[in-house]
Structure 1
Amino acid sequence: MTNPIGLLVMEYGEPQELGEVADYLTAHYGGYTPPPEDIAALQARCQQVWGTERGGSAAGLLANALSQVLAERSGDRFRVALGARHWTPTVTSALQELCASGAQTVVVLPLSPHASLMGLRDYERTLERAQAELQQPCTIHLIKDWPDLPGYWSAITRHTRAALAQLEAPAEAVALLCMAHSVAESSRKPETNYQQQLTQRTAQLTSELGCGAGRLAYYGAEGPGQWLGPEVGSALEELAQAGYRHVLAVGISSTYDNVEICYELDGRLAQLAATLGVGYARAALPNADPELVAGLADLVDGTVVERK
């Protein structure tokens, strides 16, 4: 009998209920106890994003959809597990689960299409720690990024076009605000490739939709040091000052709904746009969009063939 191939779908991780916030932040801060104000702030954001009813994990739903497509194509060839870098189920437990199922080779698929140097270091360190806890050796193939995956960009474009129609304004009167997660950089390790990829995608999407302007901005900067900018709120204010009365926001570095980006899109930016008197809409993230899922299945299949 042929050993199955493991697929570890890797996400960042986030709490699934308010009672988990303190422990989540402790993990996020590398074991340090978070101050009470940080716990309260994240709980407030979670409540604002979730509303009265918490849905299932969007990353989990995406991983399940991918598992189903792979099973339809290849039977029981793949074993799929979801692992979080900074929460549960952990990458370590997911890798152990896959190896226990008989997998001697594991493909690791991060759910972020664009990999920064900062992100890649995090991926590699997480996997090194996980491998160190295995009882037996396992061959790991990390898919570092997938910025040109057709299924991802077709889903992004389609969802953004649908959101554009909500504004009821000609495309040339709309400014497109493309959002990506900020990362820390230094003169020794500039994030040139990450920025170039995002800049190119912003220009491509702006052109395809015929928007009057396209702007790349960043969210999620935290801690000391130099982080990529401009910040999304500042970019929205600048677009309003430039005379744009309609702004369409789209997350171009995220594949699924999570508290951080949904708070930015549906909370902070929506409120700021209302204050500025700017018409505002935001594109839905791909989540388990069939085109994205099919594209990821192709990517995984191709990685297995390439590594043979």
Structure 2
Amino acid sequence: MAYDAFLLLSFGGPEHPDDVMPFLRNVTRGRGVPDERLAEVAEHYYHFGGVSPINQQCRDLLAAVDAEFAAHGVTLPTYWGNRNWAPMLADTVARMRDDGIESALGFATSAYGGYSSCKQYWEDIAAARAHVGPRAPRIAKLRQFHDHPGFVGPHTDAVRTALAELDPARRATTRLVFTAHSIPVTMAETAGPEGGRYTAQLHETAALVHAGSAPDLPWDLVWQSRSGPPQVPWLDPDINDHLADLAAKGVTDVVVSPIGFVSDHLEVLWDLDNEAADTARDLSLGYARAATPGTDPRFVAMIRELVQERTDGAGRERLGTLPVWDTCPAICCPPPKRPGAGRGGPAQPGAAQGAT
């Protein structure tokens, strides 16, 4: 099939203090989360001037993709649309229609399977196309990329760099801690045709990064950014609880690597650089946070390679063994059942974003 455009899909974020509450209402629409709870979450954004870094990160990534495409003879024009804030996906799809685009390849800023990190983006596409109408371009998905060298490599090097910040004399009591966005346990159990795809992919990525960065050190996969009613079980342990457990067991230093994410957006900055860093300081743990891929040239080249898999039949670059596919089954990754919300609204908007 021929494609005539590339579409970057992301979560979106506020770019001005006045955007914060409308953005949070978009994120939580239909969940019954009261404004007073959203106001608590809003403080995380106000801590950074009311601006989420994710939109600028998307602009930077798209500029890098444009340059990568030009350097390798990929002639697709590029577009960008968000789930929750401008540029909204429906507006972008309308612009693509007006530009004469008929068929595009969509790249979501999340490496993993799961409802919020994968399937919801394709629901967003269907809704945007329905809103635009009969002439809306067709949009196909690019595959998940949790084990692509262009994703694993930057994370691996970032762990090595972070380790260099710690005291080498304490390496014997140093541990790697990989993090990703927590999701409801029931969602994790149904993430993929066989169930458990989200957690399985994350464990594979963690194992690959560990093997390439510090195979002599022990490692764990833990969770961050939990949201939702407290009575609903989510994947645990939380990063902060885990740090306390490690300190009690004699660990002196940790490298925290957010392998669940592609860029240093607000959930990384708040949950890891503020909350988890504060927890480590209170526990007298040495703490270094590894970077995310961002616009690393290998990550940008990976996006071009994923496109060429579909346009030119290029071979798949993979380091892992879990199956991947281009078209997900209709039964894949059902949405979570949402209990009545109240005080238990999201502590951070965007379950399993990774995207953002």
Q: TM-score, normalised by structure 1?
A: 0.89
Give, in angstroms, the shift of residue 179 of structure 1.
0.5
**Distance (Å, rounded) in 1 between the aligned partners of 2:117 and 2:258:** 17
Give, in angstroms, the shift of residue 266 of structure 1.
0.6
- Shift in CA distance, 51/9, structure 1 to aligned 2, threshold 3 Å: closer
User: Which has a greater percent of strand?
Assistant: 1
Q: 289, 295, 298: which one pairs with 2:305?
A: 298
**Distance (Å, rounded) in 2 between the aligned partners of 1:51 and 1:279:** 30
Q: Does 1:266 align with 2:273?
A: yes
Q: What 5-or-longer segments of structure 2 have no aligned partner?
A: 314-325, 327-356
2:207 corresponding residue in structure 1? 203
Give, in angstroms, the shift of residue 97 of structure 1.
1.9
- Shift in CA distance, 153/50, structure 1 to aligned 2, threshold 3 Å: farther
1:120 corresponding residue in structure 2? 118
Q: Does 1:228 align with 2:235?
A: yes
Q: Do 2:152 and 2:205's aligned partners in 1 also have CA atoms closer than 8 Å?
A: no
1:81 corresponding residue in structure 2? 79
Q: Do 1:4 and 1:79's aligned partners in 2 also have CA atoms closer than 8 Å?
A: no
1:175 corresponding residue in structure 2? 175
1:189 corresponding residue in structure 2? 190
Q: Do 1:120 and 1:144's aligned partners in 2 also have CA atoms closer than 8 Å?
A: no
Opposite residue 81 of structure 1, the aligned amino acid is Y
Opposite residue 224 of structure 2, the aligned amino acid is Y
Opposite residue 257 of structure 2, the aligned amino acid is V
- Note the alpha carbon deviations across 1:237-271, whole angstroms, 9 max, x for none: 11112211101101101111211121111100000
1:21 corresponding residue in structure 2? 20
Name the count of aligned residue pairs. Answer: 304
User: Which has a greater percent of helix?
Assistant: 1
Question: Kindly, what percent of the aligned residue pairs are identical?
Answer: 24
Q: 224, 231, 243: which one pairs with 1:219?
A: 224
Q: List structure 1 runs of 4+ shifted beyond 4 angstroms.
A: 31-34, 49-56
Opposite residue 219 of structure 1, the aligned amino acid is Q
SS at match of 2:80: strand
Q: What 5-or-longer segments of structure 1 have no aligned partner?
A: none
Q: Does 1:139 align with 2:134?
A: no
Opposite residue 202 of structure 1, the aligned amino acid is A
- Note the alpha carbon deviations across 1:206-237, whole angstroms, 9 max, x for none: 33313532111111221133322221111111
Question: 1:30-45 residue pairs with structure 2 within 5 A?
Answer: 30=29, 35-45=34-44
**Distance (Å, rounded) in 2 between the aligned partners of 1:134 and 1:53:** 28
RCO comparison, higher one (Cα < 8 Å, 6+): 2
Q: Do 2:53 and 2:266's aligned partners in 1 also have CA atoms closer than 8 Å?
A: no
**Distance (Å, rounded) in 1 between the aligned partners of 2:69 and 2:197:** 31
Give, in angstroms, the shift of residue 49 of structure 1.
4.2
**Distance (Å, rounded) in 2 between the aligned partners of 1:165 and 1:51:** 33
Aligned Cα root-mean-square deviation (Å): 2.6
Opposite residue 297 of structure 1, the aligned amino acid is R
SS at match of 2:164: helix
Q: TM-score, normalised by structure 2?
A: 0.78
Q: 81, 93, 96: which one pairs with 1:95?
A: 93
- Note the alpha carbon deviations across 1:3-23, whole angstroms, 9 max, x for none: 972111111111122211110
**Distance (Å, rounded) in 2 between the aligned partners of 1:120 and 1:54:** 21
